[in-house]
Amino acid sequence: PESGELRWTEGGFQEARGRDEGAEWYIENVIEFVDSALEWYLDIPSSTIYFYSNETKGTKPPSSIIVPISESIFQIKGSMDDPVLHITLSGLTFQHTTSTFLSSYEVPSGGDWSTHRGAMIVVEGAENINIEDCLFDSPGGNGLILSNYIRNSNISRNEFIKSGDSSIVSLGSIDENDGTNGNQPRGVLISENLAHEIGIWGKQCGFYYQGLSAEVILKNNIAFNGPRAGINLNDGFGGGHEISGNLIFNMVRETCDHGCLNSWDRLPILNDINTDDDDAVSTYFPKENHIFNNFLINNYQSVWPLDHDDGSCYYHDYNNVLVYGGYKNYLGDHKTVESNLYLYPDGSTNTFNEQSCADYGSEGADEMWYLNNCIMLDGSHAYDKFGCDINDPNSKPYTANNTFYSPNAEWSTICSTDGLTYNLSSWQESFNYDIGSQILEAPDIDQVIEWAKALLGM
């Protein structure tokens, strides 16, 4: 308009936390701006599309242009009271749906991520659904969503490529903070899937987004090349998850302050899952989650391979191979972290300068870190944010019987309580910490590979 104002008609409210200032934005369908590869202009009066091709010099431009017109290709929809039963999608190719980044998004729980309740394939209110050996090619938003009531279903051996948002979303519904209505995905198996080139449009997305779901088995998947965490557990509802055998790398390429796997638990949610006591019908405490035998490579701006963020609790992390990053707890409790192999956490390239074997950024009850192996490049930063108040057992996790490795067997850490630097022996003698732990010369790479293979069952 002549006044020079820009007026927005939709969008801008998709992110969970939002900002009070603008960032990058773009404008489309202005022919003067079509000056870079993959940009386009639609001349509506003449029904002509002008497209700046991305071909290599000397090659021909594409012979056709695909214009998606639908957000979803297939929808399987029932309800908790009247579910759809026994549907299998096998060996199919799904291609090209519209982008959804200007559509409605919701913040289902306490984590930082929002999501759109829609996808290329939508499954809602269903039992015994199998989606296997399919190709999800260029969904404009999410690839697949499991929405609300889902039971006894299997998502296996599919490939997801160029997802606009997340490859797979599992998303339930609750009544305020009461999840006992059962209207959530429970007991779903997600295995042997391949996901790459994730987050073409959205940047707060990953291979797997989970909100208000329970007892999910996520195993033997491969995910790489994404803007944020590969796996995001947006809340602690229900618990009982098993996450194992996954390979995740090349994540957090376009953001920061995240990891290959990120978890949250800011909001207590009532559940009827962790009720072993016959007299109990509901509880705020989730079942313990198990994360094991995963190979997580913490490159690009990934800070912690397993990023247990804001209030994450009731996790057992063990037998994982974690490269370029250490353990993290922030405001959480009741986590057991044992028998993991941490490789070169001080070799990380992240901008947060978090490069220790373990980062304990807050107090928390029943936090344990023991029997782990951590190989460092120099040994000068074994722990980060560890307190040394012997009268406060929650100033640091219980640590014992860990083995540290570094050139010349050097080990030091700074106590966040008194600001002093300690070597391992003085750390043990002064505070009775890390009893049974030791510092040894760094092993050669062949030995490291053998240790990693043993943990991964290779």
**Neighbouring-strand partners of residue 59:** none
Residue located via tokens 């009827």: 272
Residues 339 and 320: beta-carbon distance below 8 Å: no
Long-range own/partner contacts, residues 452-455 (CB < 8 A, 24 or more apart): 452/295, 452/321, 452/341, 452/343, 455/293, 455/319, 455/320, 455/321, 455/339, 455/340, 455/341
Residue 458 CA to residue 450 CA, distance in Å, equals 9
88 has pLDDT over 60: yes
Query: CA–CA separation, 432 vs 188, rounded Å?
Result: 44
Distance CA 233, CA 212 (A): 9
Contact between 74 and 90 under an 8 Å Cβ cutoff? The reply is: no
Question: How do residues 46-69 score in pLDDT, each as one tens digit?
Answer: 999 888 887 776 777 777 888 899
- Amino acid letter, residue 395: S
Give the CA dihedral 69, 72, 78, 83, nearest 10 degrees. 160
Assess whether pLDDT exceeds 60 at residue 1.
Answer: no
Give the per-residue pLDDT at 197: 98
pLDDT for the residue numbered 278: 59
For 335-383, the pLDDT digits (tens) are 999 999 999 999 988 777 778 999 887 767 889 999 999 999 998 889 9
Does residue 458 carry a pLDDT above 80?
A: yes
Query: Average model confidence (pLDDT) for the chain?
Result: 92
Q: Average of pLDDT values for 400-422? A: 94
Q: What's the one-letter identity of residue 126?
A: A
Q: Mean pLDDT across the stretch 222-228?
A: 98
pLDDT higher than threshold 90 for residue 326: yes
Q: Is 445 helix (H, G, I), strand (E, B) or coil?
A: helix
pLDDT band at 12 (very low <50, low <70, confident <90, very high): low
Six token digits for residue 410: 């050097």
Tokens for 63, please give them: 């012979």
3-state helix, strand, coil in the chain (%, to 5): 5, 35, 60
Contact between residue 142 and residue 115 where contact means Cβ atoms under 8 Å apart: yes
pLDDT score at 24:
67
Q: What burial class does residue 410 get, using C-beta atoms within 10 Å of its C-beta: 0-12 exposed, 13-18 middle, 19+ buried?
A: middle
The per-residue pLDDT for range 118-129, each reduced to its tens digit, is 999 999 999 999
Q: What are phi and psi of 345, to 5 degrees?
A: -60, -30
Whole-number Å distance between alpha carbons of 296 and 341 = 11
List, in sequence order, every residue forming a beta bridge with 41; answer none if it has no partner. Answer: 50
- The closest of 75, 114, 224 to 159, measured between CA atoms, is 224
Q: What per-residue confidence (pLDDT) applies to 128?
A: 98
- Is there a contact between 148 and 175 (Cβ–Cβ < 8 Å)? no
- Kindly report, residue by residue over 246-290, the tens digit of the pLDDT: 999 999 999 988 899 999 999 999 999 988 665 668 999 999 999
Q: So what's the pLDDT on residue 295?
A: 98
Q: How is the beta sheet containing 373-375 ordered, strand by strand? A: 93-95, 135-137, 159-163, 194-198, 222-224, 247-249, 295-297, 321-323, 341-343, 373-375, 403-406, 438-441
Which are the contacts of 316, defined by CB distance < 8 A and separation ≥ 6? Answer: 288, 289, 290, 291, 292, 335, 336, 337, 338
